[in-house]
Amino acid sequence: MNTKLQSLGARLYNFAEAVLAAMLATMFFAFLLQVLFRYVLNWPTGWTNELSAILWIWLVLWGAAFVLTEQEEMRFDLIYASVKPRTRSIMFLICAASLIALYAISFPAVLDYVTFMKVEKSAYLKLRFDWLYSIYVIFVVAVIIRYIWLSWHVLRGSAPEEFDPTKAGSGV
């Protein structure tokens, strides 16, 4: 692969990780403020809870779309890991085609729902729901592109990696 393309990919990945870290830090800070306001100042606030919930949704979907790799995703792969590379490739292509088809079929309805939600706003922060739910549209597009890309590599002869339990870790 072209080194400029690899460099761009690495910078985009670092940016996605930085955004994820910023969201996590903001969510943690909002949680600390919520504890301070509620239990120290006896002044309950709703916006901190709302912000934490919104950021949690964004964290999960942003991370799944742009930061997690295939090896870091949780799976039940006892059968998948025990078969030969060719069978693993066929299994991967069947699963990838199913995911791509299901997400592609649901995409118009998802987009319609998200754009419809512009009429609603969140209770405390008054953020439009279409902006809040837009991360799901981004997630769906990213997953479709990811599985098309991975399927292309499998079709070109690169079998999905076999799981090695001796190399399993916490992601650090």
Count of domains observed in the chain: 2
Claim to verify: residue 111 and residue 49 sit in the same structural domain:
no
Instruction: Please give the Cα distance from 137 to 22 (Å, whole number).
Output: 21
Residue 170 pLDDT: 55
DSSP H or E stretch at residue 55 = helix 47-62
Q: Give CA separation, 7 vs 1, 65, 104, 158, in Å.
A: 10, 19, 30, 22
Structure tokens at 163: 């799981």
67 near 17, Cβ under 8 Å?
A: yes
Claim to verify: residue 168 and residue 89 sit in the same structural domain:
yes
Q: Which residue has the higher pLDDT, 98 or 168?
A: 98
Q: Which domain holds residue 44?
A: 1-68
CB burial of residue 103 (10 Å; 0-12, 13-18, 19+):
middle
Residue 79 pLDDT: 79
Of 26, 52, 68, the last residue of a domain is 68
The DSSP output letter for 44 is -
- pLDDT tens figures, 92-128: 899 999 999 999 999 999 999 999 999 999 999 999 9
- pLDDT tens figures, 5-64: 888 889 999 999 999 999 999 999 999 999 999 899 988 888 999 999 999 999 999 999
Of 68, 94, 118, the last residue of a domain is 68
